[in-house]
Structure 1
Amino acid sequence: MSNQTQHCPMHAPADHPEIKPAKVGVLLANLGTPDGTDYWSMRRYLGEFLSDKRVVDYPSWKWQPLLQLIILTKRPFSSGAAYKSIWNTEADESPLLTITKQQTAAMKSRLAEIYGDDVVVDFCMRYGNPSTKSKVQELIAQGCQKILFFPLYPHYAGATSASANDQFFRALMKEKWQPTVRVVDPYFEEPAYIDALAQSIEKAYEAADKKPEILVCSYHGVPQRYLMEGDPYHCQCQKTTRLLKERLGWDDTQIVTTFQSRFGPEEWLQPYTVEEVARLAEVGKTNIAVCAPAFSADCIETLEEINEEIKESFEEAGGEHFTYIPCLNDDAAHMDALTGIVERNLGGWL
């Protein structure tokens, strides 16, 4: 078969633009990462992140002078130091980038077994590199006439899922020939995801020298106002904890839901993780475990904030044994769960 027959419409003239054989793209998306820990890399990343109206929805005339003149003058130094403490020096990249690459490779391998080379798997970041726009362009250039967009957030929040979707659709606005697209729903109650979480906790408890007295499920926080404005994030987090508790066969005394990463002056979802772990230590719960179900991959908020700052708060209040249970990352049960979700969402396309 000639190259003309393969790559151009039937009966097309010889000078017709080449059209790649049709494929389906699967684009995994995560929050983002700075390119380095230096001041300017951090400033670029934080500037993009904190300028997102989904993340900080204050009026620009009020927020941007504060951001550009004060926050982005100081915060890149402290954030750079925090990233430096967890940086993957061997690959010269953030752990989130390393893990997302591993997840993408695992997904690619699983889908190749099912669909052969009809599916192209890649990943992008909402902030930083690789950008959503660049990866959408690459998938289209490879012949992807359909794209499944998968934000790797188990729980929907305007500041995460919606922002990722916004960026994805902004990228599509630049395309002459837009692919058909689907967006994966939040998977906070997916049985296979809950089971993968439970397995990771059971393994951590089995490996612990002393069984933790209570499990703290620490979710990334959002302002309390967002809940009152209709964001379902808080309710979805609470449901994940309940389903996890039921799957583990525990009672209410063995597990608690908290929220971390508070930023700015307004009230956020409570209880705050950093305060709750100190309170637990003060009332005699000196042996705790902490997991982060809202994160699909370990990142600055888990490796540095939980395993350093929150751990320090617990120990200063009298806590003795602090077990951080890593995110699911590229764990086989997690990747099986995510692959199952992708398969379901590709229904009718392949």
Structure 2
Amino acid sequence: MVLPLYPQFSCSTVGAVWDELARILARKRSIPGYRLFVITPITTITLMHWRTAYALLLPNMANRICCCSYHGIPQRYADEGDDYPQRCRTTTRELASALGMAPEKVMMTFQSRFGREPLADALYRRNAENARRKRRRSIQVMCPGFAADCLETLEEIAEQNREVFLGAGGKKYEYIPALNATPEHIEMMANLVAAYR
């Protein structure tokens, strides 16, 4: 069983898992039965997680905004048909709706630029500075493209970009952790696997 832990499909994430699986199976004389899970269950459980985590913070949100930050892909990928940016926009819209938040309170951005190719949308740091210029002094950031935290979320988003926001005049920066090893996350994966034992 193969379970890519990416809530939104992209050729560079779930697609890369498929490619690696194909390379492994190509070396086999006998190919075993296998199942590559569709990512819909991951999307659903991550949406539920952030909705719950964020709802706890809503009473203190009068002067804050929510930033949903996703791993960036080159614009070229989107031009060639990768609909990952649209999937991220859909996730952000559904999350805002689930939280009952006004559109102007929710910001979506991308992070982690590698190489010289332009990203498919605005970089996180640029949006953080824009938020400061609009007198948004407090911001809460989540990364709905990650089922578990990693170097990218823990260092780049939770630490480096906190410094960018506070250095630009922001007053409060909160990073909302991913699902990680929460009981709900483990239960969801266990239920998926158990159904195909």
Q: Do they fold alike, i.e. is TM over 0.5? A: yes
Per the alignment, residue 167 of structure 2 pairs with 316
Per the alignment, residue 159 of structure 1 pairs with 12
Structure 2 counterpart SS, 1:183: coil
Per the alignment, residue 234 of structure 1 pairs with 85
Q: Aligned in 2, Cα 1:341/1:198: closer, same or farther, shift over 3 Å? A: farther
Correspondences of 1:63-74 after superposition (within 5 Å): none
* Residue 223, structure 1, aligned to residue 74, structure 2: yes
Aligned-partner Cα distance in 2 for 1:250–1:214: 10
Paired residue total: 196
Aligned-partner Cα distance in 1 for 2:5–2:44: 16
Deviations 1:253-310 (A, max 9, x none): 2211100001122210222111101110121001000000111111111111001221
Q: Aligned in 2, Cα 1:241/1:341: closer, same or farther, shift over 3 Å? A: farther
Work out which structure has the larger RCO, using CA pairs closer than 8 Å and 6 or more positions apart in sequence: 2
Q: Aligned in 2, Cα 1:198/1:342: closer, same or farther, shift over 3 Å? A: farther
Aligned-partner Cα distance in 2 for 1:188–1:238: 18
Q: Is the 8 A contact 1:189 1:239 kept in 2?
A: no
Q: Is the 8 A contact 1:297 1:327 kept in 2?
A: yes
Shift of 1:188: 7.7
Aligned-partner Cα distance in 2 for 1:323–1:169: 40
Q: Which structure dedicates a bigger proportion of its chain to strand?
A: 1
Aligned-partner Cα distance in 2 for 1:340–1:237: 25
Provide the aligned C-alpha RMSD in A: 2.1
Q: Is the 8 A contact 2:89 2:108 kept in 1?
A: yes
Q: Is the 8 A contact 1:189 1:240 kept in 2?
A: no
Q: Which runs of 5+ in 1 are unaligned?
A: 1-147
Q: What TM-score comes out, normalization by structure 1 length? A: 0.52
Q: What TM-score comes out, normalization by structure 2 length? A: 0.90
Q: Which runs of 5+ in 2 are unaligned?
A: none
Counterpart pick for 1:297 among 148, 152, 156? 148
Q: Aligned in 2, Cα 1:226/1:234: closer, same or farther, shift over 3 Å? A: same
Structure 1 counterpart SS, 2:35: strand
Structure of greater Rg: 1
Counterpart pick for 1:286 among 125, 132, 137? 137
Q: Is the 8 A contact 1:293 1:327 kept in 2?
A: yes
Aligned-partner Cα distance in 1 for 2:42–2:26: 32
Shift of 1:314: 0.7
Shift of 1:187: 2.6
Correspondences of 1:93-242 after superposition (within 5 Å): 148-187=1-40, 190-203=43-56, 205=57, 210-211=60-61, 213-242=64-93
Per the alignment, residue 106 of structure 2 pairs with 255
